[in-house]
Structure 1
Amino acid sequence: MHFHFEPMNAANAEKLTHWHYQPPYQMYNSTSDLTLIGSFVDPENAYYSILDNGELVAFCCFGKEAQVPGGDYIKEALDIGLGVRPDLTGQGRGQMYIADVLNFARSTFNSKLFRITVAAFNKRALRAWKKAGFQQLQSFQAQDDKEPFITLVQYN
């Protein structure tokens, strides 16, 4: 693996709440809210820092936290969420992040089926996950803001 994974801690959670994505990716911006930071560090939510030489470059989460309300998550699979630091996006390194996250997920959760939910406008992420062998399973509108999302799966 290229990256080091460790459970999310408060310092890294605080850092990622200050990440600012430019349009059209601004939906991924968050605020430095103590409730949000608490959610990131709660072990039940399975958030992990992704580090490169000790520097926070991305984060991932697994399970319910990676799901978008409104999607059909009945079929058993490990849901994955991935966020890359804004200044590191669009540099053609998506496959490296995805490969390491999948390797980490395999070794940590022993899942046979992986699922990712991506905003439909995020062509860059959709292209990267499809290149990693994921196939579209469904499209739906988020329960709260009706934003279109696409769910993809990869069999292990």
Structure 2
Amino acid sequence: MNMNFRHCVLCALTEKAAAEISLWEWPPPYDVYSFKGRPNGYLMDRSTWGNEQFCLLSGDSLETVIGQVACQPDQGALWVGWALAPRLCGQGLGALFVQKAVLELRRLKGHEGRIFLKVAASNQRAIRAYQKAGFHYRAAEIDEVPYTGQPESFWIMQAGR
């Protein structure tokens, strides 16, 4: 797919975008990340929209949801998490999406400091995209997988700058 992220814009999450994102589902082995059929109070918490919860939009009138982006400040650093729309996954777009999301978050939040993320060590597709986008391994930890409660090894990665 020939996706150009230059014209995408990070915007505060909206009810319409949140409703669309809440229906996203990925095929195995990525189905553990699917939103569909799972209550997600954080995603639907309007008080986080434009502060911690954003959506990457494209199109002439910015009507197409490309991805969901979340961030949480912590002691001068920014912890991020995101999801690329399932229809765009597996096409080599992950690194471009991550680079655009980081650039837009820095612009919107005025954040020039460190940026971190946590990714399941088993999610090699995401890890490759993050590395290609400039993130580097910093540490590993055991944590619970969201929605399943199962313990898994996660990598902590930091954006290179």
TM range (shorter): 0.7 to 0.9
Instruction: Give the corresponding residue for 2:68.
Output: 59
Q: Give matches, 1:31-50, under 5 Å.
A: 31=37, 33=39, 35-39=41-45, 41-43=46-48, 46-50=52-56
TM value normalised by structure 1? 0.82
Summarize deviations over 1:36-82 as a string: whole Å, max 9, x none.
5532x322761101112120121101016xxxxxxxx7x74211111
Identity %: 23
Shift of 1:34: 7.4
The number of residue pairs the alignment matches comes to 146
Instruction: Give the corresponding residue for 2:3.
Output: none
Contact 1:2 1:96 in 2 (8 A): no
SS state of the match for residue 111, structure 1?
coil
Instruction: Flag the structure with higher helix content.
Output: 1
Separation of aligned partners in 1, 2:24 and 2:32: 12
Moved over 4 A (4+): none
Instruction: Give the corresponding residue for 1:68.
Output: none
Instruction: Give the corresponding residue for 2:81.
Output: 81
TM value normalised by structure 2? 0.80
Gaps of 5+ in 1: 65-72
Instruction: Give the corresponding residue for 2:128.
Output: 127
Gaps of 5+ in 2: 1-5
Mark the CA change 1:58 to 1:134 in structure 2 (over 3 Å): closer, same or farther: same
Separation of aligned partners in 2, 1:103 and 1:149: 24
Shift of 1:111: 2.9
Contact 2:10 2:105 in 1 (8 A): no
Instruction: Give the corresponding residue for 2:23.
Output: 18
Contact 1:137 1:151 in 2 (8 A): yes
Separation of aligned partners in 2, 1:86 and 1:21: 6
